[in-house]
Amino acid sequence: MARIIMISLVVMILSCFLVADDVKTFTNPNSAIVTINPNPFETVTTISVTLQQQAFYQVDITDAQGHVLNNLFNGTPPAGTNNYSWDGTTDDGTMLPPGKYVVDVHGTLNFTSVKRIIILK
């Protein structure tokens, strides 16, 4: 019995590491799907946000401390998939150094999706 519990615990721990790009996702059913492609990237990547209904949300790029480096979108787009390109720059056009950053998407449908994004340059 103890062996089964230990194996189950190991499987749960390993499954946490398999989702490398998800930092955390709190999503109501059917509210939002967020994808990043490609990730990691060198020159430009696309962040796609899919909503089944129209709602306000914003897409921010932050550093590890949560400081907003680039606000890619802030508004109420139509339902469906909306794509946002990011070239690795801040709001003022400064190129960020290679490293790990965070895509933070949150909105009025009570969803938050926070994913890692990596610049390779």
How many independent structural domains does the chain possess? 1
Q: Do the domain assignments include residue 14?
A: no
Determine the Cα–Cα distance for residues 121 and 43; give it in Å rounded to an integer.
7
60: containing domain: 21-119
pLDDT (0 to 100) of residue 9? 38
Q: Do the domain assignments include residue 41?
A: yes
Count of other CB atoms within 10 angstroms of residue 37 = 10
Whether residue 120 is predicted with pLDDT greater than 70 in this model: the reply is: yes
Residue 70's domain is classified under what CATH number?
2.60.40.4070
Query: Half-sphere exposure (CA, 13 Å, Cβ side) for 60?
Result: 15
For range 24-34, the mean pLDDT: 64
Q: Do the domain assignments include residue 1?
A: no
Q: Do the domain assignments include residue 8?
A: no
Q: Do the domain assignments include residue 61?
A: yes
Q: Do the domain assignments include residue 77?
A: yes
What band does 66 get if pLDDT is binned at 50, 70 and 90? very high
Q: Do the domain assignments include residue 2?
A: no
Q: Do the domain assignments include residue 15?
A: no
Lowest mean pLDDT among 13-17, 31-35, 63-67: 13-17
